[in-house]
Amino acid sequence: MSHQPNLSTNWKKKIHEVIYGTHTPAGKLFDIILLIVIVYSIIIVMLESVPWIDKNYHTFLNISEWIVTVLFTLEYILRIISIRKPRTYVFSFFGIVDLLSTLPKYLSLLFVGSQYLTAFRALRLLRVFRILKLARFVGASNNLARALSASKTKVLVFVFFIIVISVLLGTVMYIVEGPENGFNSIPHSVYWTIVTLTTVGYGDISPQTALGQFLASLIMIIGYGIIAVPTGIVSAEYTSEMNRRNAGTDNGRACRTCGTEVLRKDADFCRICGSNLNED
Amino acid sequence: MSHQPNLSTNWKKKIHEVIYGTHTPAGKLFDIILLIVIVYSIIIVMLESVPWIDKNYHTFLNISEWIVTVLFTLEYILRIISIRKPRTYVFSFFGIVDLLSTLPKYLSLLFVGSQYLTAFRALRLLRVFRILKLARFVGASNNLARALSASKTKVLVFVFFIIVISVLLGTVMYIVEGPENGFNSIPHSVYWTIVTLTTVGYGDISPQTALGQFLASLIMIIGYGIIAVPTGIVSAEYTSEMNRRNAGTDNGRACRTCGTEVLRKDADFCRICGSNLNED
Amino acid sequence: MSHQPNLSTNWKKKIHEVIYGTHTPAGKLFDIILLIVIVYSIIIVMLESVPWIDKNYHTFLNISEWIVTVLFTLEYILRIISIRKPRTYVFSFFGIVDLLSTLPKYLSLLFVGSQYLTAFRALRLLRVFRILKLARFVGASNNLARALSASKTKVLVFVFFIIVISVLLGTVMYIVEGPENGFNSIPHSVYWTIVTLTTVGYGDISPQTALGQFLASLIMIIGYGIIAVPTGIVSAEYTSEMNRRNAGTDNGRACRTCGTEVLRKDADFCRICGSNLNED
Amino acid sequence: MSHQPNLSTNWKKKIHEVIYGTHTPAGKLFDIILLIVIVYSIIIVMLESVPWIDKNYHTFLNISEWIVTVLFTLEYILRIISIRKPRTYVFSFFGIVDLLSTLPKYLSLLFVGSQYLTAFRALRLLRVFRILKLARFVGASNNLARALSASKTKVLVFVFFIIVISVLLGTVMYIVEGPENGFNSIPHSVYWTIVTLTTVGYGDISPQTALGQFLASLIMIIGYGIIAVPTGIVSAEYTSEMNRRNAGTDNGRACRTCGTEVLRKDADFCRICGSNLNED
C-alpha cells in the first residue's frame, strides 16, 4: 500500500478529512448525518423486535436494516483505507464497535437471532462526545472520569463486600424460607438478596415467614446504610478533585525561582525554595 | 391603547398594584385568595377523575370548575390590561401557564377528555415562591439553582450514558430471556432495564432464567454503583457553591499591606500582618 | 400544694431524684427498668395484633397490657407531683407522649380499636437518648441536628417541587394510560407517580401502553436524578458544619482583647480588633 | 508441645511459611490454590441446592463437598500445629470462620439441612484482601474503614430513629388499612413500612384505601428525604478523612519561626515568613 500514486493519496486525504475531521463543513455534515443514521438504525432494530410492528412493516424494516448495514460497511472500509495505520483503528474501541455494528446483520443470514446483536450500534452513539467536542462537555467528562477513576479501587472493594454479604444472607434466607416460599435454591436466594440490598425489590419472591420478614427488614436497613458508601466515596473524591482545582490553591501562579506550582493563595514565600513570591 | 384618559390609567395602576404587587394589604390578600383558589381548583380536577365521587357530585364539581375557570379567565384578562407591555407577560413562563389553566376547560366543550389538562394548574402553584418571597426561601432556591445549573452538563452526560447502557443491556436481556418470559420486545426490555437500573423494580416483568437473573444482578449492582454518580456531582457542586459564599470568606478582598487573600467577611484587620483592612 | 410539710417535700425530692435524675444508682436503675418495660409493652401491643398469637395468649397479653398501663399511669402521676412546675412537664413533648402511652388503653374500654394507639409508646423509646446521655451520642445528634436544621428550608423547597411534579406527571399518566390500565383516577395516578419517583416501585400499578412505559422511563430517570438533590444538600451542609468546627478555624482560641472566637489557625492578629494574638 | 526435636520445629516452620506467608513462591501458590478451592466449594454448595442439578449430579457434588471439607480440615489442623500460640488463631475471626467452613459438613451426617451452613465459607473469601495485600487495596480499605468508623455512632442514632418511625407509621397503617387489605398485624405492617421507607417496595402488600395511599405517599417522601442522611454523613466523614491526609497538609507540623500551621507536606519553607522549616 506504499506505492500509491499521488492522486490516490490526495483522494484518501480528502476522505480522511471528511470522516475523521470535525473542522471542515463537509466533516461536520458527515458527522451529523452519521449520528442521524445511527439513531435511525437503533430505532429500526428496536421496532423490528415488536411483534405487531414487525408483522405489518417487515419488508420496510428489513430493507432499512440492509441499507444502513451497507452504509456502515462502506464507512468502515473507507475508515480503514483512508488512514495510514489501519491496525490502530481496527483494534481501537471504536474500530471494534464499528465492526460489531455491521457484522451481526450479515451473520443473521446464517444464524437466526443474531440480528439483535446489531443493537450494539448503540455504542456508536458514544461518538457524539467526539463530535460535539464542546470544551465544557469534555471538561465535565474529564473531571468526572478522574473522580471515578480515583474511586475505582474503593468501589471494587465495596462491590466485593456486597457479593460476600449477598452469598451469606442469601444462604440464611434459603434456610429460613425454603423452596416452599419461593426461595427455590441458594443461587435464587442470593439473587433475591441482591434485589433487596440494592433496593430494587421486584416482589416476584418475598419472604412469607415472620423470621424471614424480620431478616429481610435487617437486610433492607443494611442495604439502606451501605447505599451511602459508594455515594460517599464518589462525592468525596469529586469534591477533592474540585478542591484541588478551585479552592485554597492558586493554580495560575508558580514560583519564579524553582517553578513550583499549586501554591496556596495566602503564600508569601515558595514552600520549596523559600524565595519571596511577591518580589519581581 | 396609548390614548387612555388619566382615570383609566389610575384604575389600571390600582389593579396592577393588587394583582402584581405583594406589598400592599390588598395585594397580599389577593395573593392568598389566589393560592387558595388554585389549590381548590386542583383538588376539584382530581376528585372529578374519581369515578364514584364524580358520579355522586358531578353537578357540584362541574359548577365549581366553571366558576374557577371564569375567575382565572378574569384574572388573566386583568393581568394583560393592567401592564404596559402585555406581550412580555403573555409569552413569559407564568403567562403561558395562566393561559393553560383556563383554556382546557373551554376546549372540553369541544373535545372530550381535554378537561384533565386543567391539572396544569398545578404549575400555578410555583407562584407561591414569588408570593412568599421570603429572603431565605429565595436564597435557598438561588443557591440550589446555581449548584444544579453547575451540575447540569455533567448530569446530562451521565443521563446519556445511562440511556446507552440501557439500550445495550435491554437488548442483551431480550436475547437471553425472550418474549416467553415477559421480555416481549427490545423497547419493552429497555424499559425493564431502566426500571431495574433506577432501582424502581416494579416486578411486572422479572427475569426467569438463571442466566437472566445473573445478568439482572449485575445490572442492579451497576445501578447501585452509578446511583452514586449524580449524587456525588450535586454534593460536590453544592459544597463548592457553599464554600464560595458561606464559609465566611471573601475571595475578592486582599490585604493591601501584605497581600493575604481569603479574608473572612467580618474581618477588620489582616490576620497575618495586623494592618487595618478598612483604611485606605 | 404550697402548704406542704417539710417531710412531704423531702419525699418528693427523693422521687424526683429517682425519676428525673440519672446520676444516682437508684435513678439509673429506674431508667433501665423503664426502658425494659417500654420495649416489653411495645412487643405486647405488636403480638396482640397477630391473630393466632392473640387467640392463644389473649388473657396473658391483656393482663400484661393492663399491668404496664397501670405502671405507666403511676409513673405519670409521680412525675407530675414530684416537680415544682408540673405544667412545664405536662405540655412538654415527653409529657404528651407519656400521656398518650396510657390513655388509649383506658379508652379501649369505651371504643374498640383504640388500644392500638398504645403503639405511640414507641415514642417513649426516644428517652433512651436522654438516659444514655453519652457525650458522643449527644454530640453526634447535635451535629446532625444542626446540619438537618440548616438543610430544612432547602429540603422543603425540594419536597414542594416534587409534589408539583407528581401532580403534573400523574395527570399526564392518567390521560395516557387511563382507568383500563389501573390508573383509576388522578389521585391514584399521582400516588403511582410518587411511588415511581421515589424509586419504591410496588408494581401494584404499572404502565401497559408503549407511550406510558416511555413516560414512566422518563419519570424514573428524573427521579434518579433528583434523588441526588436532597442527598447533596445534606452532604454539603454536614461537610460545612464539620469544616466549621474541625478545619481551618481554631475554636479553642479566642482573642484576649475583644473576645472574638472562631479564629483561623494561621491568624497572628485578631481580625476584629487587630491586636496581636501571640502576645501575652 | 514444647519438647519437640529440632527437626519437627523446622518442619513446622516450613509449613508456617507456606500457609501463613505470602512472600515465598510456595506461599503464593498455596494462597492462590486456596482461593480457587474456596470459590469452587461455594459454587458446589450453591449448585447442590438447585433441585434439578442435585438430582442429576448428586454423587459428584457430594464427593466434591467431602474432598473440599477434608482439605479444609487438613488446612485447619496444619494452621493450628504450625504456629506457636494456636489459641490466638483459633479464637481469631478467621480461625472461627475456618472452623465454621468444615464443621457443618460433618454435622450434616447427624442433622439434615445443616450442610447449607457451609455457605459460611463465603466469609473465607475475605482472605483475598490479606492475600492480595496490595498497598492501594489496604489503603482504600483503611481510609474507608476509618470514615465508616467515624460515621458509626451517627448512623446508629439514625437507624434507631428509623426503627422508632417504622413502629409508629406501621401501627398507623395497620389501623388505617387493616387485615382486609393485607396489613395482617402490626409486625407485618412495620415490615411493610420498612420495605417502603427503604424504597425497596416489593408490592406483596400495598395500600388499597385512599387514606392509606396518601399516608404511604408521605412515608415514601419521608424515606426519600432521610435516605439523604446516612449518605450525607458518610460523604462528609469521608471528605474530612481525605482532606486530613490527602489534601497534602500536615496538621502536626508548625513553623518554628512564625507559628503558621496547616503546612503542606512537601513544604521546606514557611509560606508566611519564608524561614527554613527543616532547620533546627
pLDDT (tens digit per residue) in C133-165: 544 444 555 666 676 677 777 777 777 778 888
Check pLDDT > 80 for residue B70: yes
Burial of D280 (0-12, 13-18, 19+ CB in 10 A): exposed
Shortest alpha-carbon distance between residue A202 and chain C (Å): 8
What is the pLDDT confidence band of residue A193, given thresholds at 50, 70 and 90?
very high
> What pLDDT, in 10s, does the model give residues B71-99?
999 999 998 888 888 888 888 888 888 88
Q: CA of B29: how far to CAs of B24, C143, D248, in Å? A: 9, 40, 58
Give the ipTM of the model, two decimals please.
0.75
Q: For A158, phi and psi rounded to 5 degrees?
A: -65, -45
Rounded-to-integer distance, Cα C227 and Cα A69, Å? 40
What is the pLDDT confidence band of residue B251, given thresholds at 50, 70 and 90?
very low
Cell numbers 500445629 correspond to D81
Nearest residue in A to B200, CA atom: A200
Helix axes C186-197, C210-226, angle to 10 degrees: 50
pLDDT reported for residue C216? 92
What is the pLDDT confidence band of residue B136, given thresholds at 50, 70 and 90?
very low
Of D201, D235, D272, which is closest to B201 when you measure between CB atoms? D201
D231 vs B: CB within 8 A:
yes
What is the pLDDT confidence band of residue C132, given thresholds at 50, 70 and 90?
low
Residue B117, number of CB atoms within 10 A of its CB? 20
By percentage, how much of chain B surpasses pLDDT 90? 10
Cβ atoms of B106 and B112 within 8 Å: the answer is: no
Subunit contact D144:A164, Cβ cutoff 8 A: no
Cell numbers 500536615 correspond to D250
pLDDT reported for residue B221? 84
Name the DSSP letter for residue D120.
G
Tell whether the torsion through CA atoms of D269, D273, D274 and D275 is positive or negative: negative
Tell whether the torsion through CA atoms of A210, A215, A218 and A222 is positive or negative: negative
Rounded-to-integer distance, Cα B200 and Cα C198, Å? 8
Average predicted confidence (pLDDT) for chain D: 76
Q: CA of B240: how far to CAs of B93, B212, C145, C240, in Å? A: 30, 42, 22, 10
Count interface pairs A-B at CB distance under 8 A: 157
Rounded-to-integer distance, Cα D174 and Cα D182, Å? 9
No. of H helices and E strands in chain A?
10, 2
Subunit contact B272:C267, Cβ cutoff 8 A: yes
Average predicted confidence (pLDDT) for chain A: 76
Shortest alpha-carbon distance between residue B212 and chain D (Å): 16
Going through chain B in order, the beta strands assigned E by DSSP cover: 249-250, 263-264
The grid coordinates of residue A276 equal 519571596
- Contacts of C among chains (3+ CB pairs under 8 A): A, B, D
What is the pLDDT confidence band of residue D216, given thresholds at 50, 70 and 90?
very high
Shortest alpha-carbon distance between residue A242 and chain C (Å): 14
Cβ atoms of C198 and C166 within 8 Å: the answer is: no
In terms of average pLDDT, the best of A155-169, B141-155, C57-71, C99-113 is C57-71
Cβ contacts of C237 on chain B, cutoff 8 Å: 242
* Mean pLDDT along residues C250-267: 54
Rounded-to-integer distance, Cα C228 and Cα A249, Å? 28
D43 vs A: CB within 8 A:
no
Rounded-to-integer distance, Cα D198 and Cα A225, Å? 9
D145 vs A: CB within 8 A:
no
Q: For B263, phi and psi rounded to 5 degrees?
A: -90, 145
User: Residues 180..209 of B with a Cβ closer than 8 Å to D: which?
Assistant: 199-203
Q: Rounded to the nearest 5 degrees, what angle is found at the Cα of B230, between the Cα atoms of B224 and B236?
A: 125
* Mean pLDDT along residues D172-194: 88
- Position B58: which residue type? H
Tell whether the torsion through CA atoms of C102, C104, C110 and C113 is positive or negative: negative
The grid coordinates of residue A241 equal 478533585
> What pLDDT, in 10s, does the model give residues A244-274?
655 444 444 555 666 555 455 556 666 666 6
Of A136, A197, A238, which is closest to B153 when you measure between CB atoms? A136
Which of C20, C45, C34, C65 lies closest to C128, judged by CA?
Answer: C34
Tell whether the torsion through CA atoms of D160, D164, D167 and D170 is positive or negative: negative
Of A123, A137, A239, which is closest to B236 when you measure between CB atoms? A239
Check: pTM over 0.80? Answer yes or no: no
pLDDT reported for residue A67? 92
B159 vs A: CB within 8 A:
no
C251 vs B: CB within 8 A:
no
Helix axes B135-177, C135-177, angle to 10 degrees: 70
Subunit contact B236:A233, Cβ cutoff 8 A: no
Rounded-to-integer distance, Cα A35 and Cα A128, Å? 7
Burial of A27 (0-12, 13-18, 19+ CB in 10 A): middle
Which of B119, D117, D6 lies closest to C173, judged by CA?
Answer: B119
Rounded-to-integer distance, Cα A180 and Cα D51, Å? 13
> What pLDDT, in 10s, does the model give residues C154-200?
777 777 778 888 888 888 888 888 888 888 888 999 999 999 988 88
Shortest alpha-carbon distance between residue C76 and chain D (Å): 21
* Of residues B207 and D238, more confidently modeled: B207
C222 vs B: CB within 8 A:
no
The grid coordinates of residue A144 equal 468526572
C20 vs D: CB within 8 A:
no
Tell whether the torsion through CA atoms of C69, C74, C75 and C76 is positive or negative: positive
| DSSP H or E stretch at residue B226 | helix B210-226
Do the strands C249-250 and B263-264 form a parallel or antiparallel pair, or are they unpaired?
unpaired
Rounded-to-integer distance, Cα B277 and Cα B254, Å? 8
> What pLDDT, in 10s, does the model give residues A8-49?
678 888 888 888 776 778 887 888 888 888 888 888 888 888
A140 vs B: CB within 8 A:
yes
Subunit contact A203:C199, Cβ cutoff 8 A: no
With a CB cutoff of 8 Å and minimum separation 6, the contacts of D80 are D86, D89, D90
Cell numbers 451511602 correspond to A228
Cβ contacts of A196 on chain D, cutoff 8 Å: 200
Rounded-to-integer distance, Cα A3 and Cα B166, Å? 47
Q: CA of D152: how far to CAs of B231, C143, D145, D147, D225, in Å? A: 21, 14, 10, 9, 20
pLDDT reported for residue C240? 72
Cβ contacts of B194 on chain A, cutoff 8 Å: none
